[in-house]
Amino acid sequence: MVDLHIHSNMSDGTDALEELLEKAVAIGIKTLSVTDHDDIRSAAVILSALKAGLFPIEFITGAEFASVYQNHNMHLLAYGFDPESDGMKLLGMEAAHLRRQRIMAMFEHLSFVHDIIIPEEAQAEILYRIIPGKIHIAAAAKKLGYDMPRRDFIANFLNDIEDRQYKINAERIIRTVTEAGGIVSMAHPIETQKEHKLDLTQLSGLIKKLKGEGLGAIEVFHSSHGRAEVAEYRKFAQKYDLKVSGGSDYHGTNKTVPLAGLTAYGYVPRRNELTVLSNYQKNF
């Protein structure tokens, strides 16, 4: 089995990196990538553990960057890059800095727009995290009495903020990752479709433009993709000569998605269907 979209507690997952590796080995995952948000530091920790012979698993460096392209918000998955690349280190530092700015803007947004005030102590605790996220704000709000699923709090009170100024242009992410020996995949395109109300023709046009910028792959398999989405996104991969990637988007207990759950209908893609694996810089 393969899972190329996983989050640890270095961003908005709940499992520590070694715990993630233990779980992956236990269920038979042979190849994985940890794609923490806007940060590449998990790669060094995992590579150290693997080089010490602690886990029998193939690892591909990864990260998931929040980006913007022609006024469209989207997430981009970076794979197979050299984590010691100066360009990637700089990109990771800038993305992490912008994420903190975005989180601080969300505190203000909650206060001024929704009259929800996150206590200063809770704000400081969130910002102290390596990579803070919306899910941490939702958890803090729950302690204030907003007793609803975190996903609902985020949808109702955080997703209405304009935050594109705190995201890095997709062109730069693609260029930097490519220069560092990696490849970039468009993450869960269904989310971009939903946010910007794109039909398949509009999404196709967007992917075509990104291909022109150097996009190398598309996440065909994802835990939120049903049969129809997998079929359509596979067609885009063929049409624009893009590699196919796939991952569960596992977040530990912060989401109900299991490790290696790469579709919404239970289908487990074979390794040879994830053609992005033929185009990465092998890390371990």
pLDDT value at position 50?
A: 86
pLDDT, one tens digit per residue, over 266-277 is 999 999 999 999
Residue 284: the pLDDT is 44
What's the mean pLDDT in 6-30?
93
Q: What is the pLDDT of residue 281?
A: 45
**What's residue 48's pLDDT?**
85
Q: What is the DSSP string of the chain?
A: -EEEEE--TTTT-SS-HHHHHHHHHHHT--EEEE--BT--THHHHHHHHHHTT----EE--EEEEEEEETTEEEEEEEES--TT-HHHHHHHHHHHHHHHHHHHHHHHHHHHHH-----HHHHHHHHHSSS--HHHHHHHHHHTT--S-HHHHIIIIITTS--GGGSEEHHHHHHHHHHTT-EEEE--HHHHHHHHT--HHHHHHHHHHHHHHT--EEEEEETT--HHHHHHHHHHHHHTT-EEEEE--B-GGGSSPPTT--SSS-----GGG-GGGGGS----
Whether the pTM exceeds 0.85: the reply is yes
Domain 2-93+167-279: CATH architecture, name and number where available = Alpha-Beta Barrel (3.20)
Question: Residue 280 — very low, low, confident or very high, per pLDDT cuts 50/70/90?
Answer: low
Inform me whether the pLDDT recorded for 90 exceeds 80: yes
Assess whether pLDDT exceeds 80 at residue 282. Answer: no
Cα separations in angstroms, 98 against 95, 103, 247:
5, 9, 25
For range 64-72, the mean pLDDT? 95
